[in-house]
Amino acid sequence: MITLNEIKKFCPTAFANFPLKSLTTFKIGGNADFVAYPQSITELQDLLKFINKNKIEFFVLGNGSNVLASDKGYNGIIISTKKLTGIEKLSPCRISVLSGTAMSTVVRYACEHGLSGIEWSTGIPGTIGGAVIMNAGAYGGQISNVIESVTFIQNGEIKTLPKSQLFFEYRHSLFTNEKNCVIINAILKLKKDSAEDVALRVRDYTIRRASNQNVGYASAGSVFKRTNSVPPAKLIEDCGLKGLRIGDAIVSPVHSGFIVNLGKATANQVVALIHKIKESVYEKFKIKLECEIIFLRSKDEDF
């Protein structure tokens, strides 16, 4: 059994028995054995070498904005990228963004420097690393549209792959199911535009998002992927499920594609709601909904 002091040799900013609910926007989850905050690429590499050598389970977490954590917690190490932040200008339209950088920071940088192509992500609470993993998108845009390349650590080795080798699809990338890859940074290729025009589009997206996605409670965003031309929220609403509640987990009355935490929701209550939604939508429309949120749990747990 590893100890906190062993982890601190490689990553000094680390904690034991850490509440997962404080690491996710859903505000749900038990405690993780350990959480580590690498503050440099070297620390991250050293920590991963230690993890691999000792065959320790690990999970990489950015802002935890599309994650549902188990009530039982996590047996292993959570690697938080929140300290790995920063944007470097490479050329007039190319920027390098460290994986833990918030999407809101990227949008703000683009506004200030008159760079277009990322406005659609306004209001997305995740990090660039998380956006790459799930090929985040909104309003017809997606992160893969502006990716040039991604640098990551795999089995202790630093690698860089161009967009063409990252297998981007709808809400999917090379990294979606590749648990041994930890993203370091992404190079974005944007387009030059006037700062005023970029700011106007950002303002427009901000208003649009606030009008239909300001659910007022903790959530993990859209629960389900779009599987056809009809948005999951419409299917859910047409099944009469808007406002359906199990414990403190409820289908948002504002946006039925969201499940929100009224205060004391558990992961099991959210999962029960997800199952009910899936069953109802399939029974009425013969459509199988697929979850967009990620389930954070130990490998031997099924919830």
Span 224-240, mean pLDDT? 92
Span 267-283, mean pLDDT? 98
Complete domains list, the chain, with CATH: 4-80 (3.30.43.10), 87-197 (3.30.465.10), 215-296 (3.90.78.10)
222 is catalytic: yes
171 is catalytic: yes
As to burial, measured by CB atoms within 10 angstroms (0-12 exposed, 13-18 middle, 19+ buried), residue 31 is middle
Amino acid at the residue 113: H
Q: For the chain, list the strands marked E by DSSP.
A: 14-19, 31-36, 58-61, 67-69, 74-80, 87-91, 94-98, 115-116, 137-138, 141-142, 147-154, 157-162, 181-189, 191-192, 218-222, 245-246, 249-251, 258-261, 294-296
Catalytic residue among 99, 256, 292, 297: 292
Catalytic residue among 70, 144, 222, 256: 222
Tens digit of each residue's pLDDT (9 = 90 or more) over 175-215: 998 888 999 999 999 999 999 999 999 999 999 888 777 77
Residue 288's pLDDT band, with cuts at 50, 70 and 90, is very high
Catalytic residue among 70, 171, 219, 297: 171
Alpha-carbon distance of 144 to 134, in angstroms, equals 10
Residue 302's pLDDT band, with cuts at 50, 70 and 90, is confident
Residue 117 has pLDDT above 90, yes or no: yes
Residue 31's pLDDT band, with cuts at 50, 70 and 90, is very high
Residue 164's pLDDT band, with cuts at 50, 70 and 90, is very high
Span 98-122, mean pLDDT? 96
Q: For all residues of the chain together, what is the average pLDDT?
A: 95
The mean-pLDDT minimum among 38-42, 79-83, 113-117, 137-141 falls in 137-141
